[in-house]
Amino acid sequence: MSFSNIMDSNSYTGEHDDPATETLITARERVLGPSYRLFYERPVHLVRGQGSYLFDAEGNRYLDAYNNVASVGHCHSHVVDAVTRQMSTLNTHTRYLHEGIVGYSERLLATMPDSIDQVMYACTGSEANDLALRVAQMYTGQKGIIVTSDAYHGNTAAVTAISPSLGGNSLGPHVRTVPAPDSYRTPPGQLADRFAAEVSRAIDELCSAGYGFSCLVVDTIFSSDGIYPDASVLEPTAEVVRKAGGVLIADEVQPGFGRTGDAMWGFLRHGVVPDMVTLGKPMANGIPVSALAATSEVLTAFSQDVPYFNTFGGNPVSMAAASAVLDVIEDEKLQLHAAEVGALLRTELRSLASRHVRLGDIRGTGLYTGVEVVADPAARTPDRAGALHIVNELRNRRVLISVCGQDGNVLKVRPPLVFSRSDVDWFCTELDDVLKGID
């Protein structure tokens, strides 16, 4: 079986020490099959969530420092109420008129640059990225796609082919990868030019191979690659992409909806305007909905030739949930909250790093933070085993995070946007204790 960085780096592989949990694991494996993965060496049986906390079957409380799906907090009452009201009134598809989808679309597009003026809906980020690839191919007339070397963009056939972090032989022949802008190991001032040069090289390869160049798809915080928030990276690359006749697709499934603290959308931090923007996970706080927002110019060729329909994409219940999420982000000032609490978290983590040599670079923006775990601080040698040990020890202390990066050594800290200052204290206290045990 091939190794998937995103699926297998932090997954259950053995036996659980609780008989009841082991019984549930066995039943799950029997009915779901072997493809599914559970987190942690000792999987967690969750039954309830509230805010930034999760509760297991025994009533134990966990600090959720990982889940961005419930972006405004697990079971937020405003979202729950909006979904309940709409579900009890009407839920159907977009071939009937309904004010909900129009009103939400106007609100969503108002948060983006003026040139991004139309939006299409699906159910998952995978579907949104799949749709974006179709639109790009029709607009450019070319097939070649560029992604970063450990990217993840979804699990349809088309986007599995552009998701190298899934491992195996999934990468398509029409796809080229470029190294992520590793700010920890690249000399200062060279990131942007180096990334643009790599994209230019990949474009040349695609054209030489006969695929031409359709698009660059990039997660604007390089989440799966290891979390690289440097905002200088994309502007020179965007110029390279446009000059070659391609389009820039910003995958905002991870950094979108205020998570970066600096802006509502990750691409705005970079000072670029993409041709298409894909949205997913946190859009409706757990209700499945996703979107492709784009310029009408890029959408025209597809829209004229392809009548698009997605049965559940943009349904009234999903639109009510998504609209309620925007309400909460605005009313509770969660973008500013993410900036302030995220900055505090990284300050505290850097204090820990000054005492624990296993922690290398601390980087991030807003409530998205990556912590390099290294075996040799001077050589900056990635320590996958050490990172996994930390993750599982934190789980045993009821603090939930995971890992990312090509070497699986970057602690991925991505809590709900309601993560509080006291949650920062809880997280750092437990991490400090774990590190004391391995120094």
The enclosing domain of 208 has a CATH number of: 3.40.640.10
Tell me what pLDDT residue 4 has: 77
Give the mean model confidence (pLDDT) for residues 428-439: 93
Which letter, b or e, does each residue of 204-225 get, where b requires 16 or more Cβ atoms within 10 Å of its Cβ? eebeeeebbbbbbbbbbbbbbb
Give the mean model confidence (pLDDT) for residues 87-115: 97
Based on the fold, state whether residues 308 and 274 are members of the same structural domain.
yes
pLDDT digits (tens, 9 = 90+) for 338-356: 999 999 999 999 999 999 9
Residue 1: pLDDT over 60: no
Tell me what pLDDT residue 438 has: 85
pLDDT digits (tens, 9 = 90+) for 369-394: 999 999 999 999 999 999 999 999 99
Mean pLDDT, the chain, whole residue set: 95
β 61-64/399-400 pair status: parallel
Based on the fold, state whether residues 155 and 184 are members of the same structural domain.
yes
Give the mean model confidence (pLDDT) for residues 96-106: 97
Closest among 157, 272, 224 to 368, alpha carbons compared: 224
Tell me what pLDDT residue 119 has: 98
Give the mean model confidence (pLDDT) for residues 278-299: 97
Closest among 366, 391, 37, 333 to 223, alpha carbons compared: 366
Pick from 332, 359, 388: which residue ends a domain?
A: 332
Lowest mean pLDDT among 14-28, 117-131, 333-347: 14-28
The enclosing domain of 339 has a CATH number of: 3.90.1150.10
| 14 token code pair | 């053995």
Helix (H) / strand (E) element for 28: namely helix 19-32
Neighbours of 38 (CB within 10 A): 16
Based on the fold, state whether residues 60 and 83 are members of the same structural domain.
no
Q: How confident is the model at residue 2 (pLDDT cuts 50, 70, 90)?
A: low
CA distances to 49, 379, 403 from 183, in Å:
35, 15, 18
pTM: 0.96
pLDDT digits (tens, 9 = 90+) for 197-249: 999 999 999 999 999 999 999 999 999 999 999 999 999 999 999 999 999 99
Tell me what pLDDT residue 61 has: 98
Tell me what pLDDT residue 170 has: 83
Separation of alpha carbons 162 and 178, rounded Å: 12
Tell me what pLDDT residue 241 has: 98
CA distances to 97, 124, 131, 171, 299 from 309, in Å:
14, 14, 11, 28, 15
CA distances to 229, 249, 277 from 297, in Å:
29, 14, 14
Q: Which phi and psi angles does 400 have, rounded to 5°?
A: -110, 120
Tell me what pLDDT residue 34 has: 86
Based on the fold, state whether residues 48 and 91 are members of the same structural domain.
no
Based on the fold, state whether residues 41 and 163 are members of the same structural domain.
no
Residue 130: pLDDT over 90: yes
Separation of alpha carbons 343 and 262, rounded Å: 11
- What contacts 362, CB < 8 A, 6 or more positions away? 346, 349, 350, 353, 369, 370, 371, 372
With a pLDDT cut of 70, the percent of the chain lying above it is: 99
Separation of alpha carbons 58 and 42, rounded Å: 15
Residue 30: pLDDT over 90: yes
Neighbours of 397 (CB within 10 A): 16
Closest among 282, 277, 254 to 79, alpha carbons compared: 282
Based on the fold, state whether residues 161 and 271 are members of the same structural domain.
yes
Domain that holds residue 84: 77-332
Based on the fold, state whether residues 100 and 164 are members of the same structural domain.
yes
Based on the fold, state whether residues 239 and 349 are members of the same structural domain.
no
pLDDT digits (tens, 9 = 90+) for 411-420: 999 999 999 9
Give the mean model confidence (pLDDT) for residues 87-94: 97
Based on the fold, state whether residues 240 and 380 are members of the same structural domain.
no
Based on the fold, state whether residues 96 and 150 are members of the same structural domain.
yes
Domain count, the chain: 2
Tell me what pLDDT residue 167 has: 86
Pick from 275, 299, 332: which residue ends a domain?
A: 332
Pick from 332, 350, 379: which residue ends a domain?
A: 332
Based on the fold, state whether residues 48 and 143 are members of the same structural domain.
no
Based on the fold, state whether residues 37 and 173 are members of the same structural domain.
no
Tell me what pLDDT residue 168 has: 75
* Helices and strands, number each (H, E), in the chain: 14, 16
Residue 16: pLDDT over 80: no
Strands (E) in 11-150, as ranges, are 46-50, 53-56, 61-64, 116-122, 145-148
Q: How confident is the model at residue 278 (pLDDT cuts 50, 70, 90)?
A: very high
